[in-house]
Chains A and B, each alone.
Chain A
Amino acid sequence: MSSDTEQVFNEYVTAMVGGQMFGLPIRRVQDVFLPDRLTKVPLASPEIGGLINLRGRIVTLVDLAYRLGLARRSDTSMAIGVELAGESYGLLIDGVGEVMSLDAALLERNPINLDARLAAVSSGIYRLEKQLLLVLDVDRVLASDASAAAA
C-alpha cells in the first residue's frame, strides 16, 4: 500500500442498482450506453439480459440487479460496458452517476453481515456523506462459478 504521507486516489464510475450505489474502477469501464434492440437468448440463465450489437460487436448484457439479488428500480436501464477475457459485456444498471475520485486509504472492508451475494462481488466499501458506496470487482461479477453459487 501507499505511504502515509502520499495520498492515492482511486477513480470510480458510480452506478445505481436497486437503490444501492456501486463504484466500478474506471480502468475497467469501456463505455456507458443505452441498450437498444436487445435480443433475448432463450434457455440462458436469468441473469443474462440479452445480446446487443454495439458498434459491430456483440455484447452480452448481464442483469446486475438479478445477479446481486436486488430489485430493479427503473425500467429504462443503462449499461456499463466492460471486458473480460476478450469478451464484451454490458452490466445493466438503473442509472449512472458521476465519476468519483476517492482516497484509497479510506476503503473499508465489507461489513461481515453484508449479503453474501454482495460480499462475493464487492472488494470494499466507502463511507460517503450521504450513502455507502460498494466497490464492484468486475472479474468476480462476471465469473461463472460465482454466478453458479449465487443461483
Chain B
Amino acid sequence: MDDLLREFVTETNESLDVVDVELVRFEQDPNNALILNNIFRLVHTIKGTCGFLGLPRLEMLAHAAESLMGKFRDGLPATREAVTVILATIDRIKEILAALERDQSEPDGTDSDLIGDLERIAEHVQASAQQPAIAATEQALGRPLRAGEVPLDELERVFRETPVDPSARRQPKPAAAPAEERLRIDAVKEDEATKAGTQSIRVTVDTIEQLMTMVSELVLTRNQLLEIVRRHDDSEFKAPLQRLSNVTAELQEGVMKTRMQPIGNAWQKFPRIIRDLSHDLGKEIELELQGAETELDRQVLDLIKDPLTHMLRNSADHGLETPAERRAAGKSSQGHIRLAAYHEGGQIIVQFADDGRGLDTARIKAKAIAQGLISESDAAKFNDAQIHKFIFAPGFSTAQTITSVSGRGVGMDVVRSNIDQIGGTIDVKSVAGQGVSFTIKIPLTLAIIAALIVDVGGNRFAIPQVAVVELVRARKGGDHRIERIKDTAVLRLRDKLLPLARLSRLLGIDSRDEIEGGFIVVTQVGSQSFGIVVDGVFHTEEIVVKPMSSKLRDIPMFSGNTILGDGSVIMIVDPNGVARSFGSTVVSQMTAAERAQPQQLEKSDDDMTSLLMFRAGSSQPKAVPLSLITRLEEIDARRIELSNGRHMVQYRGQLMPLVSMTDAAVKHEGAQPLLVFSDGARSMALVVDDIVDIVEDHLDIQVASATPGVLGSAVVKGVATEIIDIAHFLPLAFEDWFRRKDRTQQRRQHAVLLVDDSPFFRNMLVPVLQAAGYAVTAVGSAKEALALIDQDRSFDVTITDIEMAEMDGFELAEALRADPRCAAMPVIALSSQVSPEMIERGRRAGLADYVAKFDRQGLIAALMEQAGLGDAA
C-alpha cells in the first residue's frame, strides 16, 4: 500500500478512537467548548486529508458530520439523537477505512442515509434554535426565505470556516473574534502535536517483535555463558560476563518497555459501548475506569480486549437491572460498573465489578444439571461459589433471552479460555442482589517468565512461577501428612486439604511410586489450589517461552517449551492443564481447601466445617469432622484378627482395635476402609462400609439424638446426615481412653468455662473435657459468659472461640482482664485461623494460649500447662 495512504489510515483510526471517547464525554458535558473544539479539529483534519487523497465518500461523510458539529459549536444543544448519528457516522468511516486498508480503494456504496440524517438533524436543530437568526434575516429581507436561500449569518459562518489549509486558518479574521480565539486554541494544540511528534516515532509491530526475539536469544545465550562460567571457578570471563549480563537485563527491560501499552487502550471503546448499551437497554449505567495507565505487554493486551468487552456487555445486559427494578430493590436507579487494573507481584490484576442482581445460582445449577455437568445429588452438595464456577464451563450461557447485546452463545467459557491462553486466571464472586465481581490475573508478559525447574523420573520440566504458591517436602511422618481417600491422594497442609496430582502419572513417565520423599509444588490456579507431586526441584530460572510445534500443541499439559541455560530443551507445564486433569470429582476437595482461605464470599457463614462423609450400616450418610480423624486407611480384610472377642489389626507395629458402628459389619475379605483416630501413642479405628466424600458445610445439628454414638442429625449438602460422636467410640476401644488422662479424679474437679457460638463445637468439646476430668460450663456467647462472671461464678480457666458474633474472643478476654474477680484466670483461645497479627492481637488482649480449633490434644495440653491443671498438678 501507498505509504501516504497507510499513514492516513493509521492516523485517522487513532483520531477516530479519540473522537469516540470525546463525543461521549461531550454528550455528558455539552458546555465544554474544549472537548468540542478537539472533536471538531480531528474531524476537520480527516475531511481535509480525504479531499487531498481523493476519497470522496469519506470526505462527504466527514463534511456532513463536521457541519452538524459546527452547529453545536455555535451553541446549539447536543441532543442524544444527534450524537448517536455522529457516532454512527464515525463507525461508517471506520468501516470504509478498513476496506480502504484491505483493498487500497474506497469501497462502493452510498452514505446518503447517514448524510441525510446528519443534514436533517442539522436543519432541525437550526429550525428550532436558530429561529431568532432567521427572523433577523427575514427582517432584513422583509420577507420569509425562499427555497434555496440561505440566511445571512449562515453564509457568514460558511465563509469563516471554509479555509482548510492550516496556514490559511492561522490568519486571524478580524471580523470574527470568537473564531479567532478558537483558532488560537487549535494552533496551540497543533504546536503540542508537533512537539510530541519529534519525541515519538512510529515503529511497526513487526520490528518490535523481531527485536524481542533477538533479545530473547541474547538472554538464552547469556544464560548459557553463565552456566559455563559457573563450572569454572576462576574464570577471567567472570567480570566481563557480569557486565554483559547486566546490559542484557537492561536491554531486555528496555525492549519489554517498548511492547508495553496502557491497559486503557483496551478500554478506550468502553465509554462508547456503555453509552450505546444504556441507550438500547433503557438502563442507567455509570462506568468507572481505574488504573487505565497500568501497562502490560501488547500481546497480552490484544488477548484480553475481547474478554473484557464481552464481560462489559454481559454485565450491562444481564447483570444490571432496569432502573425500575433497581428502585424496587432499594438501590439507586443508576447501575454501576467498575473496572480497575493494577500491578501486583509481577501480575496484572483486573477487577471487574457491577452492583447488579448477581448471578442466578438456581438457574446456573439447573442448567449445569440439564447439561449433564453435574448430577442432581452432586449439585445439592455444592455451595454457591462452586455453582457459580459453572459459568466458565464450555457452552454455558444462562441468559434467558438472547439479545443483540450479549448471549449469542459465546459466554464466560470463551472469556475463560482466552484468559487461560495467556496463562491468566479468572475467578468470580457473586452476592445475590448486590452484584458480581470478577478478578482476572494476567501475567505482565508472555515472552519471558520465571519458572521453577523440577525433575520427574529424570526428566526436567518448567512450572511457571506465578502459579506456584509454595514448596512442600513430602516426608514420612513430616508435618504435612499425605492422606489417601480410596486411590486419591490429598495433602493436609496446615488447615487446608489439597488434592495431589502426580506429574509422572499425568505425563505417563515411569517414576517411583512413593509420593513420600518427593516434593509437592503447591499450585494455585484461580481459586483452585492443588499440589503437583514431583521427584525433585532444581532452581528458578528466567525462561523465554517459545511456542510449541503445531504437532505438540494439542497436549493439554504443556503451554510451551524453552531452552535452558545449559542448552537443553524443556517443556513448560501448564498449571491450568493440571487443574483440569482433576475433573469434577475433586471439585469438592478443592473447595475444601478453598474454604479454608480466610476471605470468602459468604463472610457471614464462615463457620464451615470440613466433614468426612461415609456410610456404615444404614444407607443414610454419616459424617464426622475431618480434622478429628488422624488418617484414612484401607486395609486388606484378611489382616483383621480376632483377639479376645475383639477385632484387631496390626498397624504400624502395634495392635489397633477396630470399633464397629452399631450395625456396620466387619468385612471378611476385600478392602476394609477405616477411619483411624490417634491420641498420643494409641490408635483405634472405626469400621465403615465406604468413604463417600469430603464436604464443606455448616454444621448445625438440628435434631439431637438419643442413640449413643450419634450426636444428632444435620443437613449436610441437602441430605440428612448423622453426625457421629467420636467421644462415644473411643472408650469402646480402650476403656480408659479418657480416664487415663485424669488419674487424679478424686481431686476437686477444675471448672472450665467454654464459650463458643457453634452448638456443634460445644457438643463436641464438652464430652471431651468432661472425660478429661473437668467440670465444664458451656455458653453460646461472650455475653452469657460475662453474665456468669457477674453472678460470681468462678472458673479456673476459660476457653473461648475467637470468631463470634457481637463480641469476639479478643473482646471477651479484654473484658475478663478488666474484671478484678477474674483478672488472674487464664483464657485459652480456640481459632481455626491463626495469623501472626492475631497472635499479637491475642497477646495484647491477654490471651494465655492459642489452640487450633480441632486440636483436642493441644487443648488438653494447654489446659494443663496454663492452669497447672490435670496430671502435672
Contact = CB atoms under 8 A, between A and B. Distances in A.
Interface stretch (B4-12, B170-178, B543-551, B807-815): B543-551
A144 B554 CA distance: 11
Contact of B459 (A40, A48, A53): A40
A58 B221 contact: no
B606 to A, nearest CB: 41
Interface in A46-84: 48, 51-53, 56, 58, 60, 62
Interface size class of A (residues with CB under 8 A): 20 to 34
Contacts of B563: 53, 56, 58
A44 B569 contact: no
Interface size class of B (residues with CB under 8 A): 20 to 34
A42 B546 contact: no
A144 B509 CA distance: 25
A89 interface: yes
A51 B561 contact: yes
Contacts of A142: 551
Contact of B551 (A37, A40, A44, A56): A44
B208 interface: no
B567 interface: yes
B508 A43 contact: yes
B507 interface: yes
Given A39-B571, A53-B567, A56-B563, A45 B507 contact: no
Interface in A12-60: 37, 39-45, 48, 51-53, 56, 58, 60
A117 B723 CA distance: 64
Nearest to B564: A53
Contacts of B567: 37, 53
B568 interface: yes
Given A53-B563, A56-B221, A45 B551 contact: yes
Given A60-B551, A87-B549, A43 B220 contact: no
A85 interface: yes
B555 interface: yes
A53 B569 contact: yes
A56 B218 CA distance: 10
Given A37-B568, A52-B569, A56-B220, A44 B550 contact: no
Q: Which among A41, A42, A43, A51 has the highest number of chain B CB atoms within 10 Å?
A: A42
A127 to B, nearest CB: 33
Q: Which among B220, B555, B568, B569 has the highest number of chain A CB atoms within 10 Å?
A: B569
Given A42-B459, A42-B509, A60 B549 contact: yes
B550 A85 contact: yes
Interface string B60-97: 00000000000000000000000000000000000000
A58 to B, nearest CB: 5
Contacts of A51: 549, 561, 569, 571
A51 B220 CA distance: 17
Contacts of B459: 39-40, 42
Contacts of A37: 567-569
Interface string B180-197: 000000000000000000
Contacts of A43: 507-508, 555, 557
A48 B551 contact: yes
A48 B570 CA distance: 15
Q: Which among A40, A58, A62, A147 has the highest number of chain B CB atoms within 10 Å?
A: A58
B154 interface: no
A60 B568 contact: no
Contacts of B561: 51, 58
A58 B217 CA distance: 12
A41 B558 CA distance: 10
Given A39-B571, A53-B568, A44 B221 contact: no
B703 interface: no
Contacts of A40: 459
Interface in B210-250: 217, 220-221
Nearest to B507: A42
A139 B683 CA distance: 67
Q: Which among B221, B508, B571 has the highest number of chain A CB atoms within 10 Å?
A: B571
Nearest to B218: A56
Q: Which among B221, B546, B549 has the highest number of chain A CB atoms within 10 Å?
A: B549
Contacts of A41: 552, 555, 558, 571
Interface string B486-515: 000000000000000000000111000000
Given A41-B552, A56-B220, A58-B546, 13 more contacts: A37-B569, A41-B571, A42-B557, A43-B508, A44-B551, A44-B555, A51-B569, A53-B563, A56-B221, A58-B569, A87-B549, A144-B550, A144-B551
9 contacts: A39-B571, A41-B555, A45-B551, A48-B552, A51-B571, A53-B569, A56-B563, A60-B549, A147-B551
